[in-house]
Amino acid sequence: MKIRSLSLMLVTLATCSLHSEEIRISASDLLAEFIKAPLAAYGDENNITFDVESIGSLPALDNLRSDDIDLAILAVPEVDSRLRQDFTLYPFAYDVAVVVVNSSNPIDEITVGRLAGIYGANEEFNFNTWGDLGLSGWGSRNIKAVAAPAKGSISLELFKHAVFKGTAMKQNVTMIKDTEVEEQIITNPASIAITSGLPKSNEVKAIMISEQNGSPAFGPSEDNVHYGDYPIRLAFYVVFNKRDEAKLKPILRVLLGDDVATSLRENNLFALPDTIRRKLIIDLDLEN
């Protein structure tokens, strides 16, 4: 009897396993690894298997168009009307370039053009000292330009794309590890750095950036990034076929939930603001 009971239990477990739901996802290789653990935890509790492929955004979109996957997470510089016509889109996260200086530095905001003059070769302006930028009392201090993108981040490429008219950085820009950037800024107050995330030390501050002289400047907060006021960002969207919306609603709730947001933030990405995520989840619950 015991042998028969054990056999029945094994058959039951195997049957349940065979009937577990599979969700196929192609996600941008810039963030795919950061969503796997929260999805796996949800899957274990709800008998769902997630097949998450780390891939470029264009191949991921091709997979979606050919029905090889259920859902894609894409880097989308600009959302065109055709994409919205063909698919349902939800904002998901952002990669951002943050510019930081020492907290004692009197500069609080800067234009894109002035950043180009600090970092770019063959740009309209060429700034080498803080006095060139009109900082009172800092006139003789040479600007120490640093770039410290996190491993796997494209923040430096985002910065170049948004800021430079040309393509090349000045040769005197120092490349360092992102783990070293705050020490560099603290020990050399004349430094300025391109980073992938917000500063952790009170001795380092992120500066606000404006598109041009006379335009309002915005800091890299989640709200400013989400609404497009902060100018150096790349958006990621969750994209799927409209016909699959009912099936994918529970998965959307997970992707918009706190665990995924925490994972994104811990890996130098900007999640949606909490208020936006909660509103999207409430809207999902209210829809028929």
Computed from CA positions of residues 226, 228, 233, 237, in that sequence, does the dihedral angle turn out positive or negative?
A: positive
pLDDT tens-digit series, residues 207-229: 999 998 889 999 999 999 999 99
Enclosing H/E stretch for 155 = helix 155-163
Same domain, 152 and 188: yes
Same domain, 48 and 123: no
Q: Look at residues 184, 207, 226 and tell me which one is the last residue of a structural domain.
A: 226
Residue 81 Cα distances to 85, 228, 235, angstroms = 6, 18, 16
Q: How confident is the model at residue 83 (pLDDT cuts 50, 70, 90)?
A: confident
Same domain, 222 and 243: no
Separation CA 270–CA 254 (nearest Å): 17
What is the greatest pairwise CA distance in the chain? Answer: 90
Which pLDDT does position 19 carry in this prediction? 57
Same domain, 170 and 52: no
CB count within 10 Å of CB 261 equals: 22
3-state DSSP assignment of residue 110 = strand
Same domain, 87 and 44: yes
CA-wise closest residue to 230 among 244, 245, 240, 215: 215
* pLDDT above 60: residue 114: yes
Same domain, 184 and 220: yes
Count the alpha carbons within 13 Å of 29 in the hemisphere toward its beta carbon: 8
3-state DSSP assignment of residue 166 = coil
CA-wise closest residue to 248 among 69, 85, 116: 69
Same domain, 14 and 70: yes
Same domain, 160 and 43: no
Same domain, 252 and 201: no
Which pLDDT does position 10 carry in this prediction? 43
Enclosing H/E stretch for 91 = strand 88-96
Query: 55: which 2 tokens?
Result: 């891939």
Same domain, 106 and 192: yes
pLDDT tens-digit series, residues 22-38: 999 999 999 999 999 99
CA-wise closest residue to 168 among 156, 177, 180, 176: 156
Using alpha carbons only, what angle is made at residue 227 by residues 108 and 233, rounded to the nearest 5 degrees? Answer: 65
Residue 2 Cα distances to 88, 117, 160, 203, angstroms = 52, 79, 69, 68
Q: Which residues pair with 111 in a beta bridge?
A: 210
pLDDT tens-digit series, residues 225-261: 999 999 999 999 999 999 999 899 999 999 999 999 9
Number of domains in the chain: 2
If phi > 0 it is left, if psi is from -120 to 50 it is alpha, else beta; for residue 228 that is left
- Helices (H) and strands (E) counted in the chain, each on its own, are 11, 13
Same domain, 19 and 120: no
Q: Look at residues 226, 249, 269 and tell me which one is the last residue of a structural domain.
A: 226
**Cα 106 to chain centroid, rounded:** 29
Residue 275: give its domain's CATH number: 3.40.190.10
- Note down the domain range covering 43: 2-94+235-286
Output the pTM of the full model.
0.88
Query: 242: which 2 tokens?
Result: 């409209």
Which pLDDT does position 6 carry in this prediction? 46
CB count within 10 Å of CB 32 equals: 17
